[in-house]
Structure 1
């Protein structure tokens, strides 16, 4: 029993004699830039739920954006109509039915031109683009011109989405480094880097939002125009000939009237000469009788 007590006492003395530096050693945090994110990690982050952290997502998620096509439709169409007001109402009614809206509207009534027109820049839900195009075309008398363009932005969309995912994952890693930093200089360095990353995230998110809007809502410029009667008539119709005859007769009367006013001194002198001459001839005949 005495031997056991002596051995325990020696053990306690040995532990108490260890250097203080070993008892209270502190590990210094070294800031090492995070390695580039692997493609698999980027794919895992794409489609992550808002507020989720890195590592919360399953390892084999395949985002929808990588498989579905992203299409932007835009174009212009020019339509002739006899009633601009009616055509405008038909356009706005069609937009309300499909959930579109007028982004810009212009009216052109040039005094020196025989054409009056309305121009609309409209945004239409992409799935209803063809339906709206058909409806607005049928509301006019004639389609003068039409130009529709389709742009595939799938590659651009995936590129922006992947860059955004990488930046968000990098932000999470720098947040982890910020939690581990012990020196004030290291804290400031990490915070500056985080500010740069967050600025990049906002810029990239803005690009993604713009692409999403372009994909979700197709753009179309619609122009309705009408011509004056003279411009629409080719000169062979009865109405046109009657109108021109009345117009020419009125012009002739105006010319005669203003011609008489212009030549009134000559006319007055001629009337006086004729009157005197006739009176002289009558007197002569009377003398001869």
Structure 2
């Protein structure tokens, strides 16, 4: 067991050494590339070098997330959307909201009133811009800020994933050639269908990676730091309600008509239950007739 532990320690040390060498080579390549592209980096110094980073023999999928406060959310939204289009990108999501904090109505005359709304504007956006122009867009967005809450820029290295996808494509193609040499039967049809499905999924994944390499996704959240006030002229509804709230003549007339209809309903109800009334009258008649002979008999005995 001790020997196994020593072997594992040696293997770990070797792997760390290899990783350090590769990391040093990548760093050297990066420094060489950035020195050649110093002009491009200088443009985005105020934003981040990650947005314009280039490394030899490496491919990155770049994304960014910006959260900031602006003077006017609506104006900033229009400006950002216009800039994205000018850079060759497009907007995939824009959700502008005005969250009402309070809402009060103040009567200014018998006919007029003022509706006062206190609100705060915000917008959640998602845009896609050519990766080569990501730094320019972030610089434009940065110029709109009053206060930057947070900003993150990510560069995901997908070089190995792309190479693996190429190998998978060759494997799928080879599998298809092998299947085509089999005799036609149910198993061959099933294998061919599965291989085609796998090939389609691989092509779709390749298309997604290619698209994400070409266009960077930027999530933007902007809001206004202070509450705004909107004054809206409206009609004084309270005076209108008071004007038509109660009319004695009309109410008395309506009450008289409703009473008349109530009497009609009662009469109709009594007519409806006439069989019950008839049966009740017959029962009372027979009970009285039965009691009468008993009273006469009692009187005779006395």
Question: Structure 2 length as normaliser, TM-score?
Answer: 0.48
Which structure features the higher share of strand residues? 2
Over alpha carbons, which structure has the higher Rg? 1
